[in-house]
Amino acid sequence: MIGWLLVVPLVLLTAHTAVNALLLRRPRRAAGTAERVAVLLPLRDEAGRVTPCLESLLAQRGVPDLTVHVLDDGSTDGTADVVRAVAGDRVRLHIGTPPPPGWLGKPSACRRLAEEAGDADVLVFVDADVVLEPDAIAGATDLLRRTGVTLLSPYPRIAGAGRLVQPLLQWSWLTFLPLRAMERSPRPSLAAAGGQWLVVDRAGYHRAGGHAAVRDDILEDIGLARAVKRSGGRIALADGSRLATCRMYESWSELADGYGKSLWASFGSAPGAAAVVGVLLLLYAAPPLLLFALGPWAVAGYLLGVTGRMISAAATGVRVLPDALLHPVSVVLFAGLVARSFRLRRRGALTWRGRPV
């Protein structure tokens, strides 16, 4: 009986992962658009890694009316000088000001950039650790219009440190989130987005309140997606792994700090986080530990978890093996990061790039 209770949910979840992987939207290669597109790049202390991002933005094709706006948000490492050296007058460089009271840094910077975009039809928010293929912006803009959504989140391929943990985000979307239902549903609670690369209809962005609607939201990407839904717009996720690469963290220490600042906000409450993490540990980490107690049922549970991770990895452009075989370890590491995030928040020790969170 216990074996059935373990395996049946895993069968259903793995099947759901496979269906979502088949339905996952992907931008077309070599697309073109006549839209007026503004690329918006907020920077804070990114001198060491902004160059590949800038070079990829300057190499975009298929978008004749494209402007690139860069905002230096109080950097102390010479980020603005790097922007000038790499891009010169091919981008519009803006100097930021401290966020107003009640605002976090990134929403404030993004709001300023959206204001500078003028009458662009489409706003493309990109982080400094993202490198785009030359047809990425044209392809994503084309997909935004073909799907008729207000906000499109084409998730990039993840590189760098944390390859056991980072792909869990795409895996969680594919495993637990009904993608097509999310697109159709007006419920703000049924929303997901990745702030590394967002493509938004400008009119819909302002109708949703823009980043002013998420001024104090540490997960401003998901907050913006929910604001779009509340205003009557629609959102969609897409696999952007063929068109974009994101190297978020170079070390486990960086990853732990990055996750620490925001994981606490992902679950609504500590009890909610405990419930979600508990279910994940039971379904995906426990089977190897229950081998002697459950025998073939434990083996089946482990293999189903690995299969779901393999499907997700293959669908989103990340390494499949041997990483998928260590899926139970990934879930345990994630549980530890969640606990650490709540612990730091209770201590009032959450900061990012020198600013309190």
Kindly state the average pLDDT of the residues 37-47: 95
Cis bond leading into 322, ω under 30°? Answer: yes
Q: Are 117 and 174 in contact (CB under 8 A)?
A: no
What's the CA gap between 293 and 199, in Å, rounded? Answer: 49
Q: What is the pLDDT of residue 1?
A: 60
Domain with CATH 3.90.550.10 in the chain: 25-250
Task: Look at residue 253 in the predicted model and tell me its pLDDT.
Answer: 87
Q: What is the mean pLDDT of the chain?
A: 91
Q: What is the pLDDT of residues 325-354, one digit of tens each?
A: 999 999 999 999 999 999 888 887 666 666
The encoded tokens of residue 330 equal: 């990934």
Determine the pLDDT at residue 320: 87
pLDDT digits (tens, 9 = 90+) for 257-302: 888 888 888 887 888 889 999 999 999 999 988 877 777 888 999 9
pTM of structure: 0.92
Tokens of 331: 């879930």
Q: Does domain 25-250 have CATH number 3.50.50.60?
A: no
pLDDT score for 354: 61
Query: Quick one: average pLDDT of 123-143?
Result: 97
Query: 101-110, pLDDT tens digit by residue?
Result: 999 999 999 9
Q: What is the DSSP letter of 89?
A: G
For tokens 């259903």, the residue is: 12
The strand pairing partners of 239, in sequence order, are 155
Look at residue 195 in the predicted model and tell me its pLDDT.
86
pLDDT at 2 over 70: no
Is the pLDDT score of 16 beyond 70? Answer: yes
Measured distance CA(67)–CA(194) in Å, rounded: 22
State the Cα–Cα distance between residues 319 and 123, nearest whole angstrom.
31
Specify the pLDDT at position 349.
65
